[in-house]
Structure formats: structure tokens, C-alpha cells
């Protein structure tokens, strides 16, 4: 059989295009901001992870320009060989200090961070226990590790303990969870995860890609939010969200970071992040440190949206904590209905994310909306009025 048969038989994108419902790869013609020009028309941006709105901050852009001029466009090699700049080391020091850990390590992307950390730390004979709604990069990291992966029902601590009881006492155990879940916007039950980890001798890793700049004192993330920084063994995150750049990181004890740096294939064999990306991440981190009010503003606007959508009759998923995260999913459930609603929103001038399998279960398709500290209430009111008109009429 021809290896490419599956490619020739894959017709879903073309079917959606023919129906005028294809929602992906829209052409952005302006900066990533609260309002954008997309395919020639103004759209209110409710589909970005630019939580602090720093992609358009003058000092962030200037930092990237200066780094490009000083260091060139790239390092042309891995961190292991010729690809370590003073900027990389500076960013690692500042991240470790900000997040309250001994050491940090920078990866090329957030996705490769999870691949590299998990596959280095866990191996054959070990067990990795994951929340079912963890990010795809965690799942792929588990596969690359060759460890035994077990999945517990989303935020179900009884199910987590049930799985922990099945692990042989001789096996190493890593519990991995998103801090803020990327699709639902809810927060993990970290206190209970840490409690169970202590009982069963497990280590804990938190993917804080959507927690940095969102939760915790001054945006320090999920572990800080729960007062558990010292109890979480590994924290990872990305620069492509709150830090307005590209790349990923881990923070942990010096021994763990050193081990990962010398044993992680995605770290050893990937080129380092370009100078401009590193410099913009440093500047964004410094802004976060000096302007913690950005996090407070983001939280207030996120709650404003949750209250506003609910008042307008739009059904949303709660965040699962007393903190309103900037990810607000609107459940559409049905596969085709999700494409129809997103297309109507797009035509009305609101850009959102269409989320269908494999990103969600088949019966839990949703429209993912996300918000920035730089959104204004008039813009959000305009967007919510459009959402209510489209979503409520389509129910």
C-alpha cells in the first residue's frame, strides 16, 4: 500500500474550504495586538496568548532590534556547542531568580521544553502520571521517554491516587500537570497533587505555559499562587505567551537542570533561540517584574469578560479557582457547529480559536477566547455583544 494513501484520503480541510468554514491560517497583516488587520479587515483579537500585551511594547521591540544588530540573526548551533550567548545565561539567571528556583535552562520552544525535560528525567521502568487534559507536548514527551504513562481523569484527585497505588514501589514516579489548562482555562489542584506526591514518593512537574504572567504574586505562576514553589520539583514554561517572544524554559534544582542539559536530546540537538528572541524575553520579564499591576489588570479584565458573557446568556466554563484566568472557553460541543459559529464571529469582526479533536474530546468542541491586559472595556463590550448575538442565536 502507498504510504501516502492517508494523505490523499484526507479531505476534511478541503471540505471545510468548499463550505466556506475553514478557520485556520488566516493571514495577519498587523502586529499581534488587541485589534488586528486580518485579511484586510479589522478584527478584535480574542485568539492570542499575548496575555500581558507586550508584543507591541516599544521597549520590547527595541530590545530585539539592538540584539539583532549586536549578535546577528542567529547562533547557527545548539547551546551545547557554539550557540550559548551571554543573553541566554542572563535570561536563565533572571528566570531562576524570579521563579524562586536554583537554576534554569532555556529550550528552543515551549513544545521542545516538555519533550526535552520529560524524556530526560523519565525512562524505561519509570512511571509518568498525567492529567487527561495536559498539553500535547507533555504526551509526546512521555512517548519519547519510553516510561509507562498513566492518565487520570481531569483534576480528579481520587483517580490520581488510584493510579499512584498501582505503581511498583521500585519505580520512579513523575506527576505532570498543566498549571492553567490551555483549552479550559481552569487551574490544577496543585495542593492535592503535592500532598499525594509526598505520600507515594513521586516528583511533581508543572507546565506553566499559561500560568506565567497570569497567576501568583506578580505573575510568578501556579506554584506561587498556591504557595508551593518549594514543593514543586520542576516548572516549565514558554516565552511565546506572556513574555512576547519565542522559546521555552525549565526551572528546578541545580542538579536536575544540569542532568537535563547533558541528557536531553531536544536540548542538545536543537539550535538555541535567536538573539532577538532572547533579548525580547528578557525585556518582557523585566517589565513583568517592574509592573506587577499588569497581572492585576489582566485578572480584572478576565473577570469582567466572564461576568459580561454570563450576563449576556453565553455559557462558559468556570476557572475552577477564585482566580479568573484569561482563557474563557465557550462550548459548542458539535464539530460542524463549532466551525459555523467561528465563521460567523470572524465575519462579524471577532477572531477566536476553533478547537476540535484532537485538541478536545469529540463531544466537547469549543471556541477558545483569550484576553490581554491591554484590552479595554469598550472593545471587550463590543466583542461580547457580537459573541452573544452569534452564539445565543445559534444555540
Q: What is the pLDDT of residues 36-53, one digit of tens each?
A: 999 999 999 999 999 999
What pLDDT, on a 0 to 100 scale, did the predictor assign at position 321? 59
Average pLDDT of 164-174? 97
Q: Rounded to an integer, what is the distance from CA 347 to the centroid of its chain?
A: 27
Residues 6+ apart with CB under 8 A from 238: 109, 110, 113, 209, 212, 247, 248, 249
- 261 catalytic residue (yes or no): no
Instruction: Kindly give the residue spans of alpha helices, DSSP state H, lying in 73-205.
Output: 86-99, 110-121, 136-145, 157-164, 190-200
Q: Minimum mean pLDDT among 10-14, 29-33, 105-109, 356-360: which range?
A: 356-360
Look at residue 161 and tell me whether its pLDDT is greater than 60: yes
CATH 2.130.10.10 matches 26-51+292-394: no
Using H for helix, E for strand and C for coil, what is the string for 202-229? CEEEEECCCCCCCCCHHHCCHHHHCCCH
Look at residue 81 and tell me whether its pLDDT is greater than 80: yes
Q: What is the rounded distance in angstroms from the CA atom of residue 235 to the CA atom of residue 275?
A: 23
Summarize pLDDT for 260-314 with one digit per residue, the tens: 999 999 999 999 999 999 999 999 999 999 999 999 999 999 999 999 999 999 9
What pLDDT, on a 0 to 100 scale, did the predictor assign at position 322? 66
- Residue 40's Cβ-side half-sphere holds a number of Cα atoms within 13 Å equal to 0
Catalytic residue among 48, 182, 240, 272: 182
Query: Which CATH number does 58-290 carry?
Result: 3.40.640.10
Q: Which of 138, 92, 101 is nearest to 118 (CA)?
A: 138
Look at residue 320 and tell me whether its pLDDT is greater than 60: no
- Residue 96's Cβ-side half-sphere holds a number of Cα atoms within 13 Å equal to 17
Average pLDDT of 159-163? 98
Residue 236 CB burial class (10 angstroms; 0-12, 13-18, ≥19): buried
Q: What is the rounded distance in angstroms from the CA atom of residue 84 to the CA atom of residue 73?
A: 14
Catalytic residue among 101, 135, 210, 344: 210
What pLDDT, on a 0 to 100 scale, did the predictor assign at position 395? 67
Residues 185 and 325 sit within 8 Å (Cβ to Cβ): yes
Summarize pLDDT for 102-135 with one digit per residue, the tens: 999 999 999 999 999 999 999 999 999 999 999 9
- 31 catalytic residue (yes or no): no
Which residues, listed in sequence order, are joined to residue 177 by a DSSP beta bridge?
A: 206
Band of pLDDT at residue 232, cut at 50, 70 and 90: very high
Residues 370 and 351 sit within 8 Å (Cβ to Cβ): no
Average pLDDT of 311-339? 86
Residues 371 and 326 sit within 8 Å (Cβ to Cβ): yes
Q: Greatest CA span in the chain, whole angstroms?
A: 60
What pLDDT, on a 0 to 100 scale, did the predictor assign at position 361? 84
What pLDDT, on a 0 to 100 scale, did the predictor assign at position 133? 94
SS3 22: coil
Q: Helix 377-394 to helix 335-347 angle, to the nearest 10 degrees?
A: 140
Residue 61 CB burial class (10 angstroms; 0-12, 13-18, ≥19): middle
Average pLDDT of 6-13? 95
Q: Which of 50, 85, 58, 100 is nearest to 289 (CA)?
A: 100
What pLDDT, on a 0 to 100 scale, did the predictor assign at position 319? 59
Q: Helix 190-200 to helix 157-164 angle, to the nearest 10 degrees?
A: 20
Q: What is the rounded distance in angstroms from the CA atom of residue 144 to the CA atom of residue 266?
A: 10
What pLDDT, on a 0 to 100 scale, did the predictor assign at position 315? 87
Catalytic residue among 88, 101, 241, 375: 241
The number of beta carbons lying within 10 Å of the beta carbon of residue 2 is: 7
Give the helix/strand (H/E) hosting 284. Answer: helix 275-290
Count of residues in the chain:
395
SS3 17: helix
Look at residue 393 and tell me whether its pLDDT is greater than 90: no
Band of pLDDT at residue 358, cut at 50, 70 and 90: confident
What mean pLDDT value characterizes the chain? 96
Distance of CA 251 to CAs 257, 311, 353, Å?
7, 41, 30
At 337, phi and psi to the nearest 5? -60, -35
- 241 catalytic residue (yes or no): yes
Task: Tell me what percent of the residues of the chain surpass a pLDDT of 90.
Answer: 94
Average pLDDT of 211-239? 98
Domain ranges of the chain: 26-51+292-394, 58-290
- Residue 10's Cβ-side half-sphere holds a number of Cα atoms within 13 Å equal to 6
Q: Which residue has the cell 493510579?
A: 163
Residues 6+ apart with CB under 8 A from 120: 259, 260, 263, 264, 265, 267
Amino acid at each position: 500500500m502507498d504510504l501516502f494513501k492517508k494523505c490523499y484520503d484526507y479531505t476534511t480541510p478541503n471540505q471545510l474550504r468548499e463550505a466556506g468554514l475553514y478557520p485556520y491560517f488566516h493571514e495577519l497583516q498587523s502586529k499581534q495586538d488587541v485589534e488586528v488587520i486580518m485579511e484586510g479587515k479589522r478584527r478584535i483579537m480574542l485568539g492570542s496568548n499575548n496575555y500581558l500585551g507586550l508584543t507591541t511594547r516599544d521597549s520590547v521591540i527595541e530590545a530585539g532590534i539592538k540584539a539583532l544588530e549586536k549578535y546577528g540573526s542567529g547562533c547557527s548551533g545548539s547551546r551545547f556547542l557554539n550557540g550559548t550567548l551571554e543573553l541566554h545565561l542572563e535570561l536563565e539567571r533572571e528566570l531562576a531568580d524570579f521563579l524562586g528556583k536554583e537554576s534554569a535552562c532555556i529550550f528552543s520552544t515551549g513544545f521542545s521544553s516538555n519533550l526535552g525535560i520529560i524524556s530526560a528525567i523519565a525512562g524505561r521502568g519509570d512511571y509518568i502520571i498525567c492529567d487527561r487534559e495536559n498539553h500535547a507536548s507533555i504526551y509526546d514527551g512521555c512517548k519519547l521517554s519510553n516510561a509507562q504513562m498513566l492518565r487520570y481523569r481531569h483534576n480528579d484527585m481520587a483517580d490520581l491516587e488510584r493510579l499512584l497505588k498501582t505503581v511498583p514501589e521500585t519505580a520512579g514516579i513523575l506527576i505532570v500537570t498543566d498549571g492553567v489548562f490551555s483549552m479550559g482555562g481552569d487551574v490544577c489542584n496543585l495542593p492535592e497533587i503535592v500532598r499525594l506526591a509526598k505520600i507515594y514518593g513521586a516528583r511533581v512537574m508543572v507546565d506553566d505555559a499559561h500560568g506565567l504572567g497570569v497567576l501568583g504574586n506578580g505573575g510568578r505562576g501556579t506554584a506561587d499562587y498556591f504557595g508551593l514553589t518549594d514543593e514543586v520539583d520542576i516548572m516549565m514554561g514558554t516565552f511565546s505567551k506572556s513574555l512576547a517572544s519565542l522559546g521555552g524554559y525549565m526551572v528546578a534544582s541545580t542538579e536536575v537542570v544540569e542532568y537535563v542539559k547533558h541528557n536531553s536530546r531536544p536540548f542538545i540537538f536543537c539550535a538555541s533561540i535567536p538573539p532577538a528572541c532572547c533579548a525580547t524575553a528578557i525585556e518582557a520579564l523585566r517589565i513583568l517584574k517592574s509592573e506587577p499591576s499588569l497581572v492585576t489588570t489582566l485578572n480584572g479584565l478576565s473577570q469582567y469578560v466572564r461576568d459580561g458573557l454570563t450576563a449576556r446568556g453565553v455559557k462558559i466554563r468556570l476557572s475552577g479557582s477564585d482566580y479568573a484566568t484569561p482563557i474563557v472557553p465557550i462550548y459548542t460541543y458539535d464539530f460542524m457547529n463549532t466551525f459555523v459559529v467561528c465563521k460567523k464571529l470572524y465575519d462579524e469582526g471577532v477572531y477566536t480559536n476553533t478547537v476540535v479533536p484532537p485538541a478536545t474530546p469529540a463531544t466537547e468542541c469549543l471556541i477558545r477566547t483569550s484576553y490581554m491586559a491591554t484590552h479595554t472595556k469598550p472593545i471587550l463590550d463590543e466583542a461580547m455583544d457580537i459573541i452573544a448575538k452569534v452564539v445565543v442565536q445559534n444555540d
